[in-house]
Structure formats: C-alpha cells, structure tokens
Amino acid sequence: MAIHPIEYRYGRKEVKDIFSEENRLQTMLDVEAALARAHAKVGNIPKKDAEAISRKASTSHVKISRVNEIEATTNHDVMAVVKALAEQCGASGGYVHLGATSNDITDTATALQLRDYISVLSKDLRRLKASIISQAKKHRKTVCIGRTHGQHAVPTTYGLKFAIWAAEVQRHLERLEECRKRILVGKMSGAVGTQAALGKHAIRIQELVMRDLRLNAPLASNQVLQRDRLGEFMLLMALIAESLNKFATEIRNLQRTEIGEVSEGFGRKQVGSSTMPHKRNPIYAERVCGISRVIKADAIAALENIPLWHERDLTNSSCERIIVPEACILLDYILDVSANLVSNLVFNKANIKRNLEMTQGRMMAESMMVRLVEKGMGRQQAHELVRECAMESNNKNKPFMAVLEKNRKIGRLLSAQEIEDALKPEKYVGTAVEQVDAAIRKLK
C-alpha cells in the first residue's frame, strides 16, 4: 500500500530509480566489489577472489529479499548485505568487506547515487533556463508595469523579468558544478577514521577504490564523511527550490483576477474547481510553491545532522534515509513542472495595456521629473513639483497629463508635445532590451 505521495503522485521514474531500494543495494555492492579489487591490487587478497566477488556483486545474484531476511536476524542493514554477498561468493566470501566499516560502504554508495542525480539535476536546470530564455526572447520588448511594494512603480518589460530569472538559474548551475568536488566523495577509513583494519596499504586502498568508482577521497575522516558536505548539497537544493518558489509566486500574482496579465496554460477539459465551474486556478505554480517548503525543511534537517557525537553517532542515518531521496525526487519534479509552466504561459496583452494605463499616467512621474532636470530644474525641486501634480491627479481622479499641462512651472520648460512624449511607457524602459539581449547572448 502506497503511503508517501512520492510513491503515486509526485516524482519521475528516472530519479526514483536512482533512489530505489534495488539501486541502493547495487551501489553498496559496487563499493564492496571495488574494495575487493583494491585489496587484490595491493596484494592483500588473491586476484581470483576479488574477481569472484566482483562477479557476484550484483542484484542479479544478491537479492533484496535475501538481504531483508538476514537483516531480520542481524538487525544491521550493512552486515546483511555483507552476508548475502559473501554467501554468493563461496570460498571467496571470506574477503568481502575486509577492513571496512559500514559507513565506508554507505557513504560511498550515497556519493554514487548523488553523482547520477547531479547529472539529472544539471539537465533539469538547463532545460528550465532554455524555457525562460525562450520567453525572454519573445517578450524582450513587451512593456508592462513594474511593481514595488505591490504598487505600480515605473514601466519595465517582461523580457527583463525573464532575463533575471534565467541569470538566477545560471548561478545555480555554476554552484552545482562548483560543489561537485565536495559532494562526490567516498571513503575507506574504518571504525574511527584511522584505517587501522585496512593494514599498511590503507591509504593506497582508499585511493584505488575512489579511482575505481570515479569519486574523490577526503583529506581526513572519522567513521563518516563529515555532514557539512551533504548539508551544502541540501542547502543548494533548497536554494534552487526557493528560486522556483519565487518564479511561481510571481506567476500566481500575475494571474490574479485583478491583474490578469499572465496565466498558466489551461487544458481544454481541465477543471479549475469542484464547485466553481468558472475557475482557472494556478495549480502548477501553487504546487511548486508548496513542495518547495518540503525541500527547504529537508535542508534544515541536514544541517541538524552535522554535529554528531565524537567519531560519529547514528542520529543522521535514519534522517538521511528520508530527506535525501525525498528532496532529490521532489526537486527534480518541480523543476520539470516549472519548465513546462514557463513554456506554456499565456499573456493577456489587453490586460497588460490596461494595467499600464490604470493610474492615468502617474507611473510616468519619474520620467517627467527626469525631463524637468534635463531642462535645468534642480532634481529636488523637480521631484517635489511632480509629486504635487501626481497627488492632485490621484486625489481628483484626473489624468496626469491634464494636471501637468495646467502647471505653469512645467509649461515654461516643456511643451505639450514634450510632456506627452515623457508619458509614453515604451520610451521609458531604459536599457531593459539591451540587458535582455546581453543575457541571452551570455546564457545560451
């Protein structure tokens, strides 16, 4: 019976497979096989025994059902894997897990899983970035009202909104690439990190295992890899999730009935509400916002796992079994949802125009102030003069143009045509288009 929504509602098969019970077992077997091969290379065990262990280190031989059966007796998951593999290896089984402690296997196996996941995550981010850049291109000159404090400010463009988002996604890609070297790390350090059980070739054995598995080795370790590594990765996932939360929140706001500039794509037979037939709710954006909270909470739990007692305790283990696959599966899912969401946005040009005109031209007050300064008026004087005109326009519900034309101080410096020109939104977007073009060139 399915319990967690990941099992039946959220998540994609590709990522679920990485964190499946069977793949987890296979990565642990991969580490055991690499350890045996390293022992053989330094002369600790016969080569034929390492080859036998490597052949049997597969879920086609070591079954989950058998591992679970052994664990029911041993109450130790790694020892259950060791015993299940050893019994498949015959006489060579005596060399399985030689010199290792449980976390040598589990921490290194986690690194193998994260390596596969990071590859998917990188593709997800690139796909999202491409979706955003596509919208930036389409709307590089789509002028809209900018908002600060939830209030109309001055004009901007939708292209610039999207360019800002794309640059943020690019920073996440850069962070991901930069942290690989600290995240994709395995170890063979034994019970408390001294490598005593691995013998005189311990350092070489760790080097060989990590080279075999294409992972980095730590500079120093105790029984576990230090959890700042995993904490960093979980925080990066939370950062990415919060960016998606930000993007989705903006879309949700822009879809509000009172604004109505942008909305999610809506299927021909899609239902918005079980009781209100007219509803077209931003369900995908809301889903992204909601799931992002879970990923952020998982990151907080990862931070709690950093301070372990002495050379280690077990408090991180049960926690990580939940938070690592959960956060990874959910982040991949909302990245996929976000890419589709951005690609299928619907723009209502009539509402964009309506909102630009809603304040009867007052959102062009800054433009008017700048024009007066260009004509020789002091900046502070111009600000106060235009502010008074804007307040009159608002309080008397008059068009801003009418109030400005009536003002004698302004009339001495600007003609009616110049005032009208200063109030055109499309002429007051500064370098927005240039910024979008530069971002597209750089981010492609």
Catalytic residues: 149, 273
Partners of residue 347 on adjacent β-strands:
262
CA distance 225 to 231: 11
CB 152 within 8 A of CB 364: no
Burial status of residue 80 (CB atoms within 10 A of its CB: 0-12, 13-18, 19 or more): buried
- Residue in 304, 308, 312 with CA at minimum distance from that of residue 234: 304
Strands (DSSP E) found in 160-297 = 262-263
Other C-beta atoms within 10 Å of 59: how many?
A: 15
CB 163 within 8 A of CB 209: no
In three-state secondary structure terms, 61 is coil
CB 150 within 8 A of CB 44: no
What would the two tokens of residue 175 be? Answer: 């962070």
Largest CA distance in the chain: 103
Other C-beta atoms within 10 Å of 137: how many?
A: 14
CA distance 93 to 76: 18
